[in-house]
A and B are shown apart, each in its own frame.
Chain A
Amino acid sequence: MSAAHDLVVVGAGPAGAAAALAAADAGLDVLVVDEQRAAGGQILRTTPPEFGGRRKLPTGYPWAGELLDRARSHPGIAWRHGATVFGILPVTADASSAGGADASAGPGSADGADASAGPASAGFDVLTSDPADPAGSGRVRARRVLIASGAYDMPVAIPGWTLPGVMMAGAVQGFLKSQRLRVADRVVLAGSHPLLLIVADQLLAAGARIEEVAIARGIPSPVELLRALPAVPGHVRLLGELAGCVLRLLRAGVRISTGTVPTEVLGDGRVQGVRLARADRGWRQTGPARTVEADALVLGYGFHPSTELARQLGCALDWDSAQGGWIVRHDAQLETTVPGVHVAGEPSGVAGAEQSRAEGELAGLTIAAALGRPVPERALAGARRRIRSASRFSGVVQRMFAPRREALLELATPATEICRCETVTRSTIDGFLDENPFAGTADAVKLACRSGMGPCQGRYCESAVAGLVAKARGTGVGEAGRFAAHIPVKPVPLQAYVALADDPAEVP
């Protein structure tokens, strides 16, 4: 088994990097595990070193370069890149050879929801897998863990969305930023999140033909804009960037349609066209659809936090649609309902890079304090202030761009595949719900219909499945529940288990 660490951070984005740095500065021994090759998360992805040239970070985050440089060169931080954390096991006190309980019971963890898990102060075994490097697979002991696993693009099931050429906005941007690859020539973009306009602008600059940008919502009303004003100070640069995107798109003659939704993707073996239709203020289709020819459809309706490790650990989650769906419950110190497990960034509620970084900093500091390291009150207050400041902006973005999930769900016809992995259609799920009036949860549908049992483990169908349950039973999506998560939370090769067997502890 690898040596024990004070803290293992899952995710090397702004939250994870800031947490690792704050904790290591306070004297902790930190390991960061991330699936990507380099630190920065999705938002700060850059071209690989083999490409040469200078690192180009997005202009909206002036702190990014220094944060990554300091974290990467810090002697107190070890990195395991290209590795997946596929499970986290609490270590019971008698199984722990490390001894040494935490200096305190952890700040404010008396939520009671999952307090029956037993003594958690002995720490955790973090299970990692790296198919390309045996040294990256195995079991790592940690006194505390921080889940900073980020978010992924919110899936929206529409007819034909499994055709090659339908891609998420984050995917397209990732190919541009880190690989200098334009995914298609003729592109339609559909969504509601501000990222969509940024990606359209970047595609345009990359020589793509933007056939149309279809935005579900209308133009913001004066009342909305007034409400947004207090949130602007400090974020002028980001808003300016967005305005610049729109200006360049319009100048290039790109059609930006508000109140418009995609109703179908057309094509034989790949995307050849997209059907677009007018929608009302509630995003419901009002008029007939028209066809726009294209090689790709880019979807950008928002983000879902990656919460599978928190689920697997038994942390309590809450449904909050505007914050991205299921988010991990936490106290003011960002500790979850499982003592010793902390959360920062998008899994605590999708709020963007600025807030993620501030939350990471607070989490790193409070974990250091909980493990007995001296942490100046001034530093804690500074992190809290940065969270408050960032949340004013993120709160407005969340309200203005909150997805209308019920309307988006109605874009799926009976033949539309809700579960892409297991090719389960809406009619299969609706039929099951019709025939089984007492089935009232997303997990019940999963067991009966297999939706959520494929390699993505429900990440791309859970919200639609829960939405169908909620619609059939007249409840909310939150009441329909969520899929449970088990080890492995992502499919890993058998070698990952072999590596565990080589470690001196029982195999799960």
Chain B
Amino acid sequence: MAKKKGVQKSEVRSQKSEVNFLPCSPASPASPSPHLPISPSPPPLSLLPTITVWAIALLVTATFAWIVGDIIWHGAGTISWEFLTTAPKNSGREGGIAPILVATGLILGVCLAVSLPLGIGTAILLAEFTPTDSWFGRLVRRSLDVLAGVPSIVFGLFGNVFFARTLGLGFSILSGGLTLACMVLPILIRSAEEGLRAVPNDYRLAAASLGLSRTTTLWQLLLPAAVPGLLVGLVLGIGRAMAETAALIFTSGYVDRMPQSLFDSGRALSIHIFDLSMNVSGGDTNAYGSALVLVVLLLLINGTAAQIADRWLHKF
């Protein structure tokens, strides 16, 4: 009974969104619907909002450009092959960031290895097997939204108590990665769920009418179609994880030695930047250099994800 109701609901939903839906591009903004009433000629006063909107857009862009420009200006001189491949010396004032890059990569790796399967699994459960307005779906979704807004320091303290102490992982890359996984999960699940929901219901009905099993439909049809949505979540998640300082200082720790295993403590890039600019006098140059590396890494990840999404769309 409940199942039937769910199908009916999703039919209604798909009809509603039919108008502005572009196949396979759930992330694209909705194009103006032809059904919306458009006033014949805009009143002259509309100039003011136009200017305001443009000014705000310019302001946002300018702020971004200023920050990136400042980091490049101060940090570009520091970057060299040596900076990327040597260990920090004299509390990071001299030397490079090699162990810190490795630790950051490992933390991110643990985070994604745990959060991706869990996140996509939960998203599939929420989008495909749970009716939109069931109490279970609503409860999970509400808790995820609350979790997404929890300050990272809270995750850090939780990670310190649960992973580092209760599970006995101590200050380690594993503790840090698992804490980040908890932090990233809400974002990942919600965007993956949206990605799946944006796949037109016709696909599901067509697959059912062809007699495909739900598993085949999921693997062969729904997941590939939802990949761009998943990537959006992934990029947002990686962004949040890479920029994290507060949650990591209590979990993955401060040690700037080259990590030997996942049980070693390792300093993440963002913590290195924080430490150099706040606790180490004379560390500003290398702090800027590290910040530049972090920004470039994030841009690279974003760019790659965008490219993959693009390719995928053409292939599909």
Report whether chain A binds chain B.
no
